[in-house]
Structure 1
Amino acid sequence: MISPKIGMGLVVAVLFALLFVMLSYSSGYGQVIDGEVRFIRKPLVTHIVKDYRLDGGEWSFGYFVPVAVAGLFWLRRKELLNTAVEPALVGGGAFLVFGFLFYWAGYRGEQKYFGYAAGQILVLGTILWFLGWRWFGKLFWLWMLLGMMWPWRFLIERVSAPLQLIMIKLTSWFLNVVGAGAVASGSSLSTSALDPVTGDPIALDVHAACSGMRSLFALVMIGLVFSFLRVKEEWKRWVLMACVPLVAVAGNFVRILMLFGGSAVWGTDFAVGEGHEMSTFHLVAGLMVFVVALVLLSLMVAVMEGGWQKVFKRSKVVRREVSREVG
């Protein structure tokens, strides 16, 4: 005999599967079949998988979001399952109706982003309808993390342009301070330093991927995981998330400096790559974005949670014990 809770969960799962996996939703820009452009509606899950592959796989981390949400829920299951269940039928019903209307509007207008937004709203409504506001308060950051599953590709250009300007100005200023003689022009950076192989001035193009945009959205996901696991108070979580863009910029600043340093020592082809091919050094420099970001996020968490004070007090205790033994 299936319990009512399991039965309701199965009904909700089937409903979401129908809306996002089975029902054809939008056709996008169409596809060429036998030399003709045809507009064939496809399920939202098909659009999601396709969007994960576009823009150099910018949003491919979305595959891991559901796994991360499930894993974090499991780690905090004892605390979460002790939360009182107080279904908010009015609030939950309102969000469910709004979510279905949003879904319908996207279907009629063939706008997949409306479908993505509807999915996030429907998850919110489901939590409130069955579990209540207390549960949503506990699950808020997991709900936010789930929002990173939807590929919001329209944000890419809006975010990359200002970050490109920030990276160009920051790097140009720093290189001029250290005497490298840098001049910024659009998204390019020219320096007075010479390539040791070709003898030409070293020039770097700060594309969207190097501006902090590529790492920003992935770092938002990492920041959400950090905030859920490592930070206890809500205001600290908001501070941590607000600093994620700055962390992304800092990581990419280190990346560009590594590319400049590698170009100055071993040549641009070695450090950056030849033509459109990325070199191994360039790949390693890209990974440093996440290393720097993780270090900075960890330090921020340590500061907000009083970790440094604990370390400082512990070191004082150790020094006292050592001095007593020596004395």
Structure 2
Amino acid sequence: MAALLVWFFGIESRYNSDRSYSAIRWLMSAWNSDLDYEHGPLVPVVALGLVIYRYKDLKAAAGDGNVLGLLVVLIGVLSYIAGYRTLQPRITVGSLPFILWGSVLYLWGWRPAKLLLFPVFFLWLAVPLPSFQQATTHLQLIATSMAHHGSSLFGVETYVEGTKVLPIKGDWKPLDIAAGCSGIRSLMALLMISAAWAYVAKIAFWKKVLLFFAAFPLAILGNALRVISIFVIAEYGDAKWATTTWHDWSGLLLFYPFSLLLLLAIHSLLEGGLPWKKSDARRLRRVVVNHKAGASNSLQTE
């Protein structure tokens, strides 16, 4: 089975302009800044980490296989054939989770399959979507507007021409909110993080969904803060340093710490306290519930 997967996904060449790329080689070449998927190599690593996180449960869950797994594998094979015939590597790569998960279901049954459902299909986040152009344009306009209004709170007076922000009094050059500054890269990376975070969070399913979708406003807000910081430093400090060194490093030094702290705050709000510290209120509720359950059992016994 493993040899077949290596051959069809890693060796069989069908894609790229000269049809010299295998599906996996195409995927690795697509993890670049042009497609806003520089975080792509981290997705398989995180997926493996999620499997390791479930390792003890998986050891105890192995059981008899289920023939329905063959149906899921068939869906994956048909998807692979469709991608192969139409020269669509995204469809081809997207078929791999079906084949992997269907194999688990067929060989070991429902319990391991349920545990591996999310980690396996998490791999889809590594596949670049066909086009971000329209979404990127909207995000550029949002980032431009928020940076313009936000920088005014720090006394930086600017005016806007399209996606270009120009100073009214400062001597720094106009800054264009290009596609790379729209926040789309940060959004995709933060979606990966929030998806894994929500999976391991010990909260209700609907709260996990909220935690995942929180990545959208957090990415927009965090990116706006990053761009505002560039304008403020350009106005009051070294404009060249702000538009070069700080521009390149502000994502790592400002965006991610800010976004992850807010994600932690949202998680804590949903859980009723810090995730690693159970609050007295939650312990009290659990004791009360257990006490009522015990009282009910004693009444039935009498």
Pairwise TM-score range, normalised by the shorter structure? 0.7 to 0.9
Counterpart of 1:80, as a letter, is: L
Aligned counterpart in structure 2 of residue 140 of structure 1, from 117, 125, 128: 117
Aligned to 2:264: 298
1:46 corresponds to 2:25: yes
Aligned counterpart in structure 2 of residue 262 of structure 1, from 213, 217, 233: 233
- SS of match in other structure, 2:26: helix
Contact 1:96–1:121, Cα closer than 8 Å, also in 2: yes
Aligned to 1:221: 192
- SS of match in other structure, 1:189: strand
CA RMSD between the two structures: 2.6
Counterpart of 2:23, as a letter, is: L
The percentage of counterpart residues that share the same residue type is 25
Aligned to 1:68: 46
Aligned counterpart in structure 1 of residue 183 of structure 2, from 179, 199, 212: 212
User: Deviation string for 1:234-265 (max 9, x for gaps)?
Assistant: 22211111111111111111101110111001
User: Deviation string for 1:29-76 (max 9, x for gaps)?
Assistant: 2xxxxxxxxx334211221221124518x3232223222222222233
- SS of match in other structure, 1:60: coil
* Alpha-carbon distance between aligned partners in 1 of 2:259 and 2:76, rounded to the nearest angstrom: 35
* Alpha-carbon distance between aligned partners in 1 of 2:33 and 2:146, rounded to the nearest angstrom: 29
Alignment of 1:115-154 (within 5 A): 115-150=92-127, 152-154=128-130
Alignment of 1:27-42 (within 5 A): 28-29=16-17, 39-42=18-21
Q: How many residues align?
A: 279
Counterpart of 2:30, as a letter, is: D
- SS of match in other structure, 1:246: helix
State the TM-score, normalized to the length of structure 1.
Answer: 0.76
User: Deviation string for 1:189-234 (max 9, x for gaps)?
Assistant: 2232412xxxx5x532112221111111111111122112334322
Aligned to 1:23: 12
Deviation at 1:84, TM superposition (A): 5.5
Deviation at 1:136, TM superposition (A): 3.6
Alignment of 1:234-253 (within 5 A): 234-253=205-224
1:193–1:46: structure 2 CA closer, same or farther, 3 Å change rule?
A: same
1:173–1:312: structure 2 CA closer, same or farther, 3 Å change rule?
A: farther
* Alpha-carbon distance between aligned partners in 2 of 1:157 and 1:127, rounded to the nearest angstrom: 37
* Alpha-carbon distance between aligned partners in 2 of 1:190 and 1:103, rounded to the nearest angstrom: 50
* Alpha-carbon distance between aligned partners in 1 of 2:70 and 2:115, rounded to the nearest angstrom: 20
Alignment of 1:277-288 (within 5 A): 279-287=244-252, 288=254
Contact 1:208–1:214, Cα closer than 8 Å, also in 2: no
* Alpha-carbon distance between aligned partners in 2 of 1:73 and 1:296, rounded to the nearest angstrom: 26
Counterpart of 1:101, as a letter, is: L
In structure 1, stretches of 5+ residues that fail to align are: 1-10, 30-38, 273-278, 315-327
* Alpha-carbon distance between aligned partners in 2 of 1:179 and 1:41, rounded to the nearest angstrom: 55
Deviation at 1:297, TM superposition (A): 1.0
Contact 1:144–1:224, Cα closer than 8 Å, also in 2: no
Deviation at 1:79, TM superposition (A): 2.5
1:290–1:177: structure 2 CA closer, same or farther, 3 Å change rule?
A: closer
4+ residue segments displaced more than 4 Å: 176-179, 308-314
* Alpha-carbon distance between aligned partners in 2 of 1:47 and 1:125, rounded to the nearest angstrom: 24
Aligned to 2:298: none
Contact 1:100–1:122, Cα closer than 8 Å, also in 2: yes
1:64–1:176: structure 2 CA closer, same or farther, 3 Å change rule?
A: closer
* Alpha-carbon distance between aligned partners in 1 of 2:174 and 2:217, rounded to the nearest angstrom: 25
1:97 corresponds to 2:77: no
Aligned to 1:289: 255
* Alpha-carbon distance between aligned partners in 1 of 2:269 and 2:218, rounded to the nearest angstrom: 15
In structure 2, stretches of 5+ residues that fail to align are: 282-302
Contact 1:22–1:43, Cα closer than 8 Å, also in 2: yes
User: Deviation string for 1:141-186 (max 9, x for gaps)?
Assistant: 3134222233x15243243222112212222333456654433332
* Alpha-carbon distance between aligned partners in 2 of 1:231 and 1:209, rounded to the nearest angstrom: 35
1:233 corresponds to 2:204: yes
* Alpha-carbon distance between aligned partners in 1 of 2:260 and 2:43, rounded to the nearest angstrom: 18
Contact 2:156–2:231, Cα closer than 8 Å, also in 1: no
